[in-house]
Amino acid sequence: MQEGNRIFLNQAELARRWRISPRTLERWRWLKTGPTYTKLGGKVGYALADIEAYERRRRAETHSSILGSWR
């Protein structure tokens, strides 16, 4: 899925990328956690740039939490 120059993944594609259940993404949307998403014509889309930013933030959070427990 594309909008202008932005590339979007649908729920199934993102679930495959992260090897998680599509239902997990649904639950995260309901809980208002997880990556930013957009509704396009009633369908959920995740911008690739937002996914990559979320992955970077999660990597930084995980790294920080590990270091914090070692001190």
CA angle, corner 14, sides to 12 and 16, nearest 5?
70
- 2 — pLDDT class (breaks 50, 70, 90): low
Look up the domain containing 6 and give its range.
Answer: 2-70
Q: Domain total for the chain?
A: 1
- What are 25-69's pLDDT values in tens digits? 999 999 999 999 999 789 999 999 999 999 998 886 666 565 655
- Greater model confidence, 54 or 3: 54
DSSP annotation string for 54-69: HHHHHHHHHHHHHHHH
